[in-house]
Amino acid sequence: MRTSHRRQFLHDSAALTAALAALPAAGARAEDLPRENADAKPAGPNEVLRVGVVGVHGRGMEHIRGFGHLKDQARITTICDADLNVTGKAVKAVAASTKSEPKVVQDFRRLLDDKSIDVISIATPNHWHALMAIWACQAGKDVYVEKPVSHNVVEGRRIVEAARKYGRIVQTGTQCRSHKGIQDAMAFLHSGKLGHVYMAKGLCYKWRPSIGHKPEEAVPTGLDFDLWTGPAPRHAFSKNLVHYNWHWFWDFGNGDLGNQGIHQMDLARWGINKKEMPRAVMASGGRFGYTDDGQTPNTLAVSFDYEDCELQFEVRGLITNSEEGVRVGNLYYGTEGILAITSYQDWHVLLGPKLEKGPHGSGGGDHFANFLQAVRARDPKILNAEIAEGHLSSAYCHLGNIAYRLGRKLHINPSTESFIDDPAADAMLTREYRAPFVVPAKV
C-alpha cells in the first residue's frame, strides 16, 4: 500500500500517458479515436436524442424502459455490453418500442467513436462507472450514470471535473431525488418544522444470502472478460463475479453500503443539508452467519460526525426486524419529532414526546425525463441529481467502507476530500489502474 495518494496520482498520470500512446485502442480521448460515423451530426434541441445504453443485464433494463417510454424525446440506437450473451433481451425490448433493432457493440469505446450518439447511459458494475463517464464527457456526450457514480472517492471528483471542463450534463442514478414524495419530505425537514434535526439515519435491511463458493473456470463464449474487468486488477473468471455477485468483492463493488445503501445515504445527507464531507467517520461490522467467496460486510454500522449533528447508517443483510416500520429507508430525529421515509416515495411524521401522527405524503417522478429536460436546455441546474451530489453521496459510502476496512476512526479534511495525517487511509481514496483503463489524475 502506498504512503500517499499523491504518489498514486503520479502513477495514474504515467499510466495515462502510456495509454494515450497506445491509441486508438486505449480510447482515452474521443478526439483521438477513429470515427465510424464521420458524417453523423448530433441531435438538435428539437430533435430526438440518440442514446447508447451500456450494461444491460440488470439495472440497464430499467434504463431501456426509462428512455423507451419517452419516445418523443429519446431513441435508444445502440446497446453495449461486454457479455454479448445478455444483449438479446435488451435488443428485443428496444425493437418492440421503436420498431427497429438497435446496433449491438461489445466495446464501450465504440460508443465514443459514434458521433451520432448524444447520450450515454451507464449501468455497468461500479468499477467501470467513473472511467466511462469521464471518457463520455471527453467525447462530447451527456451522461446518465448509475449509483454509486464511482468505485472510490477520487474517481467521483474526477467525473465532476470532467463534466465542468467539457460542459456536459451528467445525472446520477439516485432516482428518489425526482420523486415528489421525497422532495416534499425534504421540504418539510428543511422548513424547520421538525426542529433542529440532530441525527439522520439510513437503513439498508435487505436479506442477502450466502453466495457460496464457485470455482475458477474458462470464460464463457461471448464474454470479453478482460474488457469486463477493465480498470480492476486481472482476475480468473468465476461465476461468482459475473453477473451480480461482483457487488460483494472489493475490486469491483462496494458492498451493500454502495449498492442499495447509496440511495438511503444520499437521502440522509440531503435531509441534514450537508454539502461537503463529514469531519470524521467510524465503522464496525463483518460478514457474519456464513463463509463464502464474498468479501464485503453483510452487517455494518457507520457513523459520520459533524459539529451540529450526526449521520448514522446501518446495513443488515441477515434476518432482522424493521425500525419504526422501515427496512430500506431513512429516519430523521428532530427536537420536535421524527420523520420516516419508508420507501422510494412515501413518508410520514411523528410529532412531540408522544409521537403523535403528523404530516405525511407520497408521490413518484421520472428521473430520466428530468435528465432529458436538462440535456435539451443545456442547464445542469435542472438536474435533480447533478453529478456533484452523486459524487458526495457515493464518497460517503466509500468513507464508511474505508473506516470498516482499517478498523479505526478516521478524521477528514472536507476542503481537500482527504484524511488528516493518515497516509494509509489516503491511499484507499484511489486505486491502481490497469492500463489502458486508467482514470486520469487530471481531466
Q: Which pLDDT band, with edges at 50, 70 and 90, does 6 fall under?
A: very low
Reference 260, options 170, 120, 67, 126; nearest CA is 126
Q: Domain 5-176+367-386 falls in which CATH fold? A: Rossmann fold (3.40.50)
Reference 145, options 163, 164, 130, 165; nearest CA is 130
pLDDT value at residue 44: 57
Average pLDDT value for the chain: 91
Question: Is a pLDDT exceeding 70 seen at residue 39?
Answer: no
Instruction: Report d(CA 199, CA 212) in Å as an integer.
Output: 37
Question: Is a pLDDT exceeding 90 seen at residue 93?
Answer: yes
Instruction: Report d(CA 10, CA 161) in Å as an integer.
Output: 18
Question: Is a pLDDT exceeding 70 seen at residue 42?
Answer: no
Burial 102-122 (b: 16+ CB within 10 A, else e): beebbebbbbbbbbbbbbbbb
* Range from 14-28, 233-247, 272-286 carrying the lowest mean pLDDT: 14-28
Q: Which pLDDT band, with edges at 50, 70 and 90, does 47 fall under?
A: confident
Determine contact, residues 374/382, Cβ cutoff 8 Å.
Answer: yes
Region(s) of the chain under CATH 3.40.50.720: 5-176+367-386
Reference 97, options 80, 118, 73, 121; nearest CA is 73
- Per the document, the length of the chain is 443
Question: Is a pLDDT exceeding 60 seen at residue 17?
Answer: no
pLDDT value at residue 43: 57
pLDDT value at residue 28: 33
pLDDT value at residue 45: 56
User: Mean pLDDT across the stretch 223-243?
Assistant: 97
pLDDT value at residue 330: 98
pLDDT value at residue 87: 98
**What does pTM read for this prediction?**
0.90
Q: Domain 178-215+237-362 falls in which CATH fold? A: Dihydrodipicolinate Reductase; domain 2 (3.30.360)
Q: How far is CA 391 from the centre of its chain?
A: 8
Question: Is a pLDDT exceeding 60 seen at residue 36?
Answer: no
Region(s) of the chain under CATH 3.30.360.10: 178-215+237-362
Q: What is the pLDDT of residues 330-382, one digit of tens each?
A: 999 999 999 999 999 999 999 999 999 999 999 999 999 999 999 999 999 99
Q: Which pLDDT band, with edges at 50, 70 and 90, does 273 fall under?
A: very high
Share of the chain above pLDDT 90, in %: 88
* Range from 8-22, 193-207, 274-288, 295-309 carrying the lowest mean pLDDT: 8-22
What is the DSSP code (8-state) at residue 223?
Answer: B
Share of the chain above pLDDT 70, in %: 90
Question: Is a pLDDT exceeding 70 seen at residue 1?
Answer: no
Determine contact, residues 332/197, Cβ cutoff 8 Å.
Answer: yes
